[in-house]
Amino acid sequence: MAIIYQSDDIKSPKIKRREISNWIKSVATSHNKKIGDIAYIFCSDKKILEINIQYLNHDYYTDIITFDYSEGDIISGDLFISLDTVRSNAEKFNTDYAEELYRVIIHGILHLCGFKDKSTKDAKVMREKENEALKQL
């Protein structure tokens, strides 16, 4: 079981992979989950739009798309993150790029742990869980 980091059509972000992986495992454990195979694929807006159209029939940009392959309490998945959208969201929300990137990284893990964000109520809970996780980093 492993957490891997790749880039598709963009330069990989400079992150401390071992530290981030340990943080991800800690957050998963705090939600009674174990890490299976997790793949982070960093990409551009162009690539994430292609994925969004092809697999989800959504014709818009997003910061992350999570494909969930979890079974029971073992979380696994492919998490595509658009670094272009992360950067524009950091500017839009007047936050540090690295903080926004970490928020998106953990957002995908929280989805794999079972948290949703479609309703206003669920989105509020998701944001609280993201903030709790960011404090652990």
Whole-number Å distance between alpha carbons of 107 and 63 = 10
Please write the tens of the pLDDT for every residue from 99-118. Answer: 999 999 999 999 999 999 99
**Beta-strand runs (E) in the chain:** 3-7, 34-43, 64-68, 74-82
CA neighbor of 75 nearest in space, from 33, 19, 118: 33
pLDDT for the residue 72: 96
Q: What angle do CA 102, 108, 113 make, to 5 degrees?
A: 120
Residue spans of the domains in the chain: they are: 3-136
Please write the tens of the pLDDT for every residue from 22-46. Answer: 999 999 999 999 999 999 999 999 9
Average pLDDT of the residues of the chain: 97
CATH number of this structure's domain 3-136: 3.40.390.30
User: What share of the chain has pLDDT > 70, as a percent?
Assistant: 100
Please report how many Cα atoms fall inside a 13 Å half-sphere around the Cα of residue 120, on the Cβ side. Answer: 0
Please write the tens of the pLDDT for every residue from 79-104. Answer: 999 999 999 999 999 999 999 999 99
pLDDT for the residue 1: 76
For the chain, give the longest Cα–Cα distance. Answer: 38
Whole-number Å distance between alpha carbons of 67 and 55 = 10
